[in-house]
Chains A and B, each alone.
Chain A
Amino acid sequence: MGNLSIIFKRELLSYFATPLAYIFIVIFLVVNGFLTFDFGGFYVRGQADLSPFFAFHPFLYLFMVPAIAMTMWADERKTGTIELLLTLPVNLRDAILGKYLAAWALIGIALCLTFPIWITANYLGDPDNGVIFAAYVGSWFMAGAYLAIGACLSACTKNPVIAFILTVTICVIFVLLGYPFLLGMLTGWVPQIIIDAISSMGFLTHFDSISKGVFDVRDFLFFGVFIAAWLFASAVVIELKKAS
């Protein structure tokens, strides 16, 4: 077994060794259900699809994902275990990926447990399951992007609360970048190419098209590259900050 999977397993189990994983999953499901059925008007709309469910994800992740990410490296530095981990014969890359993938898997598990909503839609009507599946994967990738930001900012500080606040702030920026309202304000006085560039960095731009069933590899690629970039930045930050 490679070091990456050993670290992955340890991290994932440690989420479940404390109430953290259970609280995260329960709140994720409850809030998701509430938003979908109450706010989203799942029944009232009279359409058998999951768009009200997915529409809230960018905002739900805004505070749920940083809560998972905030301790990822901040705790390691605070308790000194980072010194233990990085003096074991382990690559920094394996450590970063192992920890990241474990947190991402936890979000994946929470996301999978929303399956009753999918079943409900199928029970009530005849939704396009291919679109729903793509939207699930897209949602997971978007959560991964939030998580990568959180991983990097968690490495910046020993204080998880600071990591949380910073992560929420940066994530809000990336959500707003694709927001039609913000883009509308820029139209007319900013060259279109810049507006497009800004909009293409926004999470909503990519997630909207995925969740509407427009399958474009570039949207997934965006999240993939975004995640890789922030994880690379984590490595740089860890190298720089581990001494302090």
Chain B
Amino acid sequence: MIEINNLTKNFDQFTAIDDLTFTVKEGEVLGFLGPNGAGKSTTMKLITGFLSASHGSVSIDGFDISKNPIEAKSLMGYLPEGAPSYGDMTTLEFLNFVAQIRGYTGEEILLRVQRVLDEVELNSVSQQTIDTLSKGFKRRVGLAQAIMHDPKVLILDEPTDGLDPNQKHHVRELIKNLARDKIVIISTHILEEVTAVCSRAIIIAQGRIVADGTPAELESRSKYHHAVSVRLSENYDLAADLTGIAEVGDVEKDSEDDMVFRILASGSKSIFSQVSEIAQTRHWPVTEFHASRGQLEDVFRTVTQQTQGTQ
């Protein structure tokens, strides 16, 4: 379990992280979201003990990162932002080095290194100098070193940044497979990633938590939650048919497509069956008709811009 209490980090006059408190339990995949400069990477650097906090504490399975750094770091695997590694070494040399630092000796080094080479599919480039590898491979080398010791806690700073869609998919599958009995914290600003892999999401803005919940919970905060999206084949005044129905709120026209409308729910109940009934009885010229889930992007924008507004 990771316990983070009143974590604060000041750089000179600037407060990068402002009084963060949260805990993460085994089996959780926590997505750490926020606009650029919100403090995602700084938080990760504080958790992994690279930076020391101005106030507050981080403890990993009871080991305080500032009081027992070696024990706490042994429990963690960390992929720093940009996946840095020693470019003049070959993949194999680099992973051997990490395995040794992680305390493995003799045969065990070979086994561990071979296992991670297989797991992130690096066998084909094991003899290549890391400097000569493509971005995707470099990222995988970084992942390989992070999972070398099968850590209880895995902290990944933008693990899929700069990867192509196939590689992204692969990394996400990898994270899902790893996650079962572990704690995984990933920072990202790709929102689809959160819905794809995370069981929980925390959105931070200006160093503070502005939202915390499962991706579904966060989505339900969106004004598009339970909304019905309709595409028409010709102009038709939908709003006129819907006035007087309490559960139905506004009708919005899509900003990009004139013929697409979103009928918002005013309450927290689904309005899909009601609206579809009306559409049938009134013979709406409908070509597409579906219930939309809440949009995480919309929630993200709302909560992060609110904080900007208050500052």
Q: Which residues of A come within 8 Å of B, CB atoms?
A: 1, 3, 6-7, 10, 13-14, 17-18, 79-81, 83-84, 86-91, 242-243
Contact = CB atoms under 8 A, between A and B. Distances in A.
B74 A89 contact: yes
Nearest to B74: A89
Contacts of B97: 6, 10
Contact of A89 (B73, B81, B89, B93): B73
Contacts of A91: 70
Contacts of B86: 10, 14, 81
B102 interface: yes
A64 B102 CA distance: 35
A84 B70 CA distance: 14
B305 to A, nearest CB: 28
A7 B81 CA distance: 22
A87 B89 contact: no
A83 B69 CA distance: 14
A80 B48 contact: no
Contacts, number: 65
A17 B128 CA distance: 13
17 contacts: A1-B100, A1-B105, A6-B97, A7-B101, A80-B80, A80-B81, A80-B82, A83-B45, A84-B78, A86-B50, A87-B73, A87-B80, A88-B73, A88-B101, A89-B73, A89-B74, A89-B103
A14 B70 contact: no
B73 A242 contact: no
Contact of A17 (B48, B76, B89): B89
Interface string B25-60: 000000000000000000001001111000000000
B199 interface: no
Interface string B161-198: 00000000000000000000000000000000000000
Contact of A88 (B82, B88, B93, B102): B102
